[in-house]
Amino acid sequence: MYENIQKTASWLRERLDVLPTTAIILGTGLGRLAEEISVTQSIAYSDIPNFPLSTVEGHSGRLILGRLGSTDILAMQGRFHYYEGYSMKEVTFPVRVMYELGVRTLFVSNAAGGMNPSFAIGDMMIITDHINFFPEHPLRGKNFPTGPRFPDMSEAYDRGLIALADAIAAEKGIKVQHGVYIGTQGPTFETPAEYKMFRVLGADAVGMSTVPEVIVARHCGMRVFGVSIITDLGLEGRIVECSHEEVQRAANAVQPLMAELMREMISRS
């Protein structure tokens, strides 16, 4: 696997005009944030050696090189999920490749169900910590030379980047929440009992991604900033039937604010 990571990175290095140190992973319903990027190059995942293919509606499946504001960035328009049948090594393969290309700061986004009573649909939740509820760990197996066998996770999400996001949100009048994200394998949305259990465990929002990517990014020593768009609620007495299309619509509605926050953060970080 590590040999394939290096081969893929080498293939991309020969084709990319610039090698940015900042990357973004755009999740469900958030792929349109790519419209904020002045794209200079775009490569379909299907054209990249050893890359998995995104099979989820709302995930375009492109690696984008461009500028967000005045900063060169690499962006994944669409990610890979455990529920698609990929192993955790495959889910996190792109993060490993980005590290080999020189990325040192990673921004991740997702759509999530909110369990905190103070949350509303359309809120942006800055992720302060996470709970790994996946059945397979992305670092299971032989340790890659990019990090220690037992990496520290006491600051999975960079405190400096969180403080910067708070300052920008206050300056721009953007409402943000803070909370703990719990990652599950999916693809089912949660039952009322599961929502209740996750809340008892200390989670504020639940989704089917992000945690594996963040674990691998931290193993590589990257700084990480994560944000969830609350697209549905799992509050006792307020749970309604949810569909992927509704999640996409809710995420799309928040994209202008999300884009403004990300653009300012990347230009100042």
What would the pLDDT profile of 98-156 be if each residue is shown by its tens digit?
A: 999 999 999 999 989 999 999 988 899 999 999 999 999 999 999 999 999 999 999 99
Q: What is the pTM of this model?
A: 0.91
CB 264 within 8 A of CB 168: yes
Q: Coil, strand, or helix at residue 258?
A: helix
The CATH number for 46's domain is 3.40.50.1580
As a three-state string, the secondary structure of 81-126 is CHHHCCCHHHHCHHHHHHHHHCCCEEEEEEEEEECCCCCCCCCEEE
Query: Each residue of 43-90: pLDDT tens digit?
Result: 999 999 999 876 655 446 889 999 887 889 999 988 889 898 999 999
The structural domain count of the chain equals: 1
In this model, does residue 208 exceed pLDDT 70? yes
Query: Each residue of 8-38: pLDDT tens digit?
Result: 999 999 999 999 999 999 876 566 677 778 8
Print the domain residue range for 195.
Answer: 2-268
Task: Compute the mean pLDDT over every residue in the chain, rounded to the nearest whole number.
Answer: 89
